Structure formats: C-alpha cells, structure tokens
Amino acid sequence: MASSTQESNKREVYKQYALTAFCEFIGTFFFLFCTFTAISAMKFTSDTTTLDPTKLLFVGATFGLSLCINVWIFYRITGGVFNPALTWGLVLLGKMPILKGVMYFIAQTLAGIVAAAGAEAILPGKLNVSCGLAKGVNQGQGLMLEALLTAELMLTVLFLAVEKHRATPIAPLVIGCTIAILHFISVPFTGASLNPARAFGPAIVEGTFDKKHWIFWIGPLLGATFGAGFYYFMTEIVNYKTLNPGQDFDRDVEIEGAELKRQLLAYQASTSSTPSTPAHEVNLTFGRKEDV
C-alpha cells in the first residue's frame, strides 16, 4: 500500500512538472515572439539599417515590456523564468528541483526556436534578430559583457522574486526594467542575448551559427552562476538582513499581528472555559519593542 501511494505521489509530481514546463514554454514563446516581431516591425518601417539611439531605446523597451507583461501573467503558474541561464541558477541554489529544472531548460530552449520560426513564418521577409558580436568587439569582451549583465538579471530575480518581502508583488515590473537597461547597454556590442533561448532560436531559424555562438551560452550561464553564488553568500553565510535592519517593517508588523491573533484566540478560549477569569489577567502585547 505504501509503495502504491509513493508511486501515485510521484506520478502527481511528474504531472505537475510537465504542466508547469508546458506553461513555461508558452510564456517563453510569447515573451520572445513579441520581441522578435517588434524588432522586425521596427526594421520593416525604417529607412536605414543603422542602429541609432532611438532604435536602441525601442529595442530595450520592447524586451523590457514584453518580459514584464509575460512574467506578470505566468509568475503564479511557473515563476516566469523564461531563461535557461536563470533556470540553471535556481537549480544550483536548490530553489528548483533538478528534474523540473531540466524540463524548464528544454521547454525554454524549444520555445526560442518556435518563437523565431513563428515570427519568420508570419512576417514578410527574412527574420533578422540574431545575436552577434559587433565589429571591434572581441570574444573575451563579449563573454564578460554577457556574463556580468546576466549576473545582474539573476540577482534581480533572486532578491526581488525568489525572496518574499514587500517588493515581491512588483518584481515583474522591476525585472522588466532591468532587462530594458541591460539591453540599452549590450545591444550595440553583442545584440544582447543574456538568455541562451533568445540567441539559440534565431540562430537555428536563420542559420547564423558561427564559431562565436558559444559566447551566448557560456556567458549567461557563467553570469547566472556568479549571481547564484553571491546570493548564497549573502543569505546563507552573511545573512544580509542583519546589515540594514528594519527594511521589511511591514513584514514585522504582519508577524506581530499573527501573534496578537494567537493571543486573542487564547484569551477567548480561556474565558469560554473559565468565565470567571478576569480579562486583565490575560496579557496582550502588540507593536515594535524599542530599547529605551
């Protein structure tokens, strides 16, 4: 009987993993499809192929808004990861089971291919959204840029979305703003991958693989690893909450409110069982305790 129950539980867990991976595929698809088609629309309506500040702002805003919207849609379903590098970082930290991480990694990568293929199939002309090093940018520079900027994204996700605090409800907005500024920085130099699925999909569909494509895998994975390592150091070794106390005051109030509720329930139980007990004998305390 116990073995049967365990097998049933395993099947239920695998089913949940499969469903969330499928939803992660859908979310990653919409995130990338919106960005690929928007970039194509910009190029379709532009008279020049030169990247100028206006186009740079458009590309950054496109990625930021698309990520913000789709993370907000799927956050409560899958976590809204949409990035194999971020998935890798979450698995390293133990924030995501290995099997679920593998399924997410595959789903996100496939979604990048399908998004690129869908954009090319629907829109006129040849899709032209691949990542690549700009003239004058060497492989070491491209690798470090991709790694450092992905580390920034990883830290944003960990400290605002994985950590539960007063800013968590607006995490999708901040993550979108983060990806926008990271694109402002990196689009002129690398095309701004920061996400292996974003680089891999167009490379497959457009046939633009070259000897430098590894940068758009290793760079983001290294960045996610660094971000995960720094987060582990700050939470498990240093305990960063002691460095600047009081920043989550509303969380303290919530905890104290729960304690007050517990005391009230205890008071009600005591008065119902012994009606003669004077109310003043029950000591209720609430509020922050200050050292005088």
Instruction: Please tell me whether residue 94 adopts helix, strand or coil conformation.
Output: coil
Written in H, E and C, the secondary structure of 136-194 is: CCCHHHHHHHHHHHHHHHHHHHHHHHHCCCCCHHHHHHHHHHHHHHHHHHHHHHHCCCC
pLDDT computed for residue 90 by the predictor: 98
Give the separation between CA 35 and CA 63, rounded to whole angstroms.
6
Measured CA to CA in angstroms, residue 173 lies from 70, 150, 157, 190 at distances of 10, 17, 11, 24
Cβ count within 10 A of residue 143: 20
pLDDT exceeds 60 at position 74: yes
**What ranges do the domains of the chain cover?**
2-242, 249-281
Out of 1.25.40.80, 1.20.1080.10, 2.40.50.320, 2.60.40.1230, select the CATH number for domain 2-242.
1.20.1080.10
pLDDT, mean over the chain: 89
Whose tokens are 């995501």? That residue is 96
- Tens-place pLDDT, residues 27-39: 999 999 999 999 9
What pLDDT, in 10s, does the model give residues 86-108?
999 999 999 999 999 999 999 99
CA–CA separation, 203 vs 140, rounded Å? 20
Model confidence pLDDT, tens digit, residues 109-123: 999 999 999 999 999
